[in-house]
Structures are given as structure tokens and as C-alpha cells.
Amino acid sequence: MARTLSLLGATGSIGASTLDLIRHNRGDWQVEALTANCSAKELAALAIEFDAKIAVVGEESCLDDLRSALEGTGIEAAGGAQALCEAAARPVDMTVAAIVGCAGLAPTMAAVERGGTIALANKEALVSAGEILKSAVERAGATLLPTDSEHNAIFQCLAGNDIAQVRRIILTASGGPFRTLDAQALKSVTREQALKHPNWEMGAKITIDSATMMNKGLEFIEAHHLFPVGLENIEIIVHPQSIVHSMVEYRDRSVLAQLGPSDMRVPIASCLAWPERMDTPLAPLDLAAIGELTFQAPNEELFPATRICREAIEAGGAAPAILNAANEIAVEAFLSGQIAFTRITAVAQETLARYTAHAPGTLEEVLAIDAEARARARTALESSALV
């Protein structure tokens, strides 16, 4: 019998990878809901291809275009924030939560509160609202499967083992495209250069985060919430080949690593098929052709984002949500040509230093903190120059 699936964020990179896997295993899945921010024509085409029951755009202004594109198909069209949450709450076997940014918080929470199985690819859900989300998972009896390649690797390395036996979790990082540059060269990095990741095909925001190492810092925060081994027992190491996706060291000093191609279809397939495995259309890993795997310590002087994220989660409370929101604004400013590459992390750090808030206890409080942090970050940008 086919399993049912809703995909939140169908037109992004994670959405495209998920749908490619479903396309190659078409008889195993029945698509319930597909969502996008807008991209009405693209969303409609996907809804038709996969015979979805409903297609939803987050931007209500795009709803008329979606309805026009779906006219005569029998597929329901809806739009707006509430419609996203209603789609996420539909009873399905698997919900893939892949909406980028804080726009994905409420739909992810709606899926969790239904008590289903969620393949989580929305970083902000754990970074900005980690304790709130974990409490909701526990209350609802939901199952959270990590879809980030690093956290999925850890999840696989933990399979069948007691987390109490873990001594250390090691997150690997590619180091991004600029890991060999000096401070002076980093100042002149262009948008086009930053969007060319050496190993991964990803969306613009996460690609820039990878270049600044902010992505790895945010993953450190996620790992803390997903795998309770203590902050002092989570480490980051640079691995330029992106073949080892993360490692787990046990009490006896055994280290288990998950290896695979640099392709998000691998961790997504792990979640879709869990607790079993599924075929993917990927070529096998050719270690002889790769030749060597290297590792080095991160350079936190040139790329301080990992240190800043570690300090934010150590501080706790609202700090991670503030940092995440400010970073999103800074990345947008860099992509629009407003600030230099080296100012991205600086703006995030300045916002975090100037704005504090009480620890959020509800999703509404998280979103209020997020909105205020974004406003503060925009103020910080006013004093930034493209130098």
C-alpha cells in the first residue's frame, strides 16, 4: 500500500530532491499536499504531476495564479499562512518540513501537534524554538527524523545504540568555498563566488551560510537539541571532501562515521524509508577515485560564526532566535549588494550583542522575538558600508 506524504516547501532544493526520489519510487507514495511560498505555476505543475490533493501558496497574493493553473484538475488550491498550517496538519504517514526560514515554524509545529512523523529540514524550528518544539513532540507523541545531512548521519550512526554510551558527536563541515582565503581576500568576495559551493547544490541562503560557516554553527545548535550529549561533547571539524557527513564516538573510543555522496537525496531517502532503506538513482561512492579524506580544525578567527553560535546556545533563552533572525537579514543584505561578505556575521553578532529578550515560552513569543531581531538587524545595516 502506498504511503501518504505532504511536502512543505516543494519548489526549494530539498523539495526538488524529495520529489525526485518519489518520482523514482512512484508506486510507493501518494502525495497529499504540496506547498510553496509563491511559484504558482511551478507548484501547480508539480501538484498535477504527483496527483496531489491540495496545493498551497504561503503568499495569498499568488493564490489566483495557482487557481488558474489548477483549473479543471480537481486539485484544491489554497493560500496564506493559515492554509499552510492546515495543510501541514493533514493526517499523512510522512510530512517533509522544508520551508526555509521562520516562515516554516508554524507549519512545522502544526505537523508536530498532529502527532505524525516529520522529516525535519527546517533549521529554524530547532534553532529558534528548540525547547518549544521538543516539548510539542513529546506531548503529541510525534516522531522527528533529521534531514540535514549531518544530523541524519548522526542519526544513522546512533541506530541500535544507547545515546548514554556516546562520548562525542563530531559534525563535519566542508569549510565552504573560501576556507583557504586570508582576511584581506575575504573582503572582496562577490555574490557570484559565494553562491558556488564546491560540493553541494543548495538554495542561496544556505549556500551563503555555508560560506560563512554560520550553517555549521546553526547545525551545532540543532545537534544540541536533537542529541542530548552536552554542549561540551559536540565538536566541529572541517572535511573539505564532504564524504564523511558526521561521526559519533562511543565510550570505548570506537568512532562510527556515515559516508555518502554529496547529495541531499541520501539523507532524505533515509528519512522517507525509515526504519527501512530505499533505492536511490545515485552512483555508488567511489573511494578509490576520491583518493583521500582530510580533516582540519575550523578557523574561528576568520570564520567566527561557529563560535558565535556556540556562545548563543550556551547563553540560551532568546539568543539563538535573535542570532538566526539577524543572520537571515544580513544574508539578504549581502545577496542584494548592500554589505560586504565579511559583514554578514558581524551584523548578526552586533544584533545579538545589542538585543536581549526573555526566553520564549510559546511559538508566538518566538515569532515576536524574531520580528524584533530583524528590525534591530536592519538598523545595524544602516551603519554598514560595502567595504
Residue 38: inside a domain:
yes
Please give the residue range of the domain that contains residue 102. 3-146
Tell me the pTM: 0.93
Residue 79: inside a domain:
yes
Cα atoms in the 13 Å half-sphere on the side-chain side of 380: 26
Residue 17: inside a domain:
yes
Which comes out higher in pLDDT, residue 321 or 201?
Answer: 321
Residue 378: inside a domain:
no
pLDDT tens digit string along 153-185? 999 999 989 999 999 999 999 998 899 999 999
Shortest CA distance to 228 belongs to which of 328, 132, 323, 130? 130
Residue 24 belongs to domain with CATH number: 3.40.50.720
Residue 97: inside a domain:
yes
Which pLDDT does position 197 carry in this prediction?
Answer: 81
Reported in sequence order, the residue ranges of the chain that DSSP labels E, i.e. its strands, are 3-8, 29-36, 54-57, 76-79, 94-97, 117-120, 143-146, 166-173, 234-238, 244-250, 255-259
Residue 129: inside a domain:
yes
Residue 78: inside a domain:
yes
Confidence of residue 205 (pLDDT cuts 50, 70, 90): confident
What is the residue-wise DSSP string for 102-152?
A: GGGHHHHHHHHHHT-EEEE--HHHHHTTHHHHHHHHHHHT-EEEE-SHHHH
Residue 334: inside a domain:
no
Q: Total structural domains in the chain?
A: 1
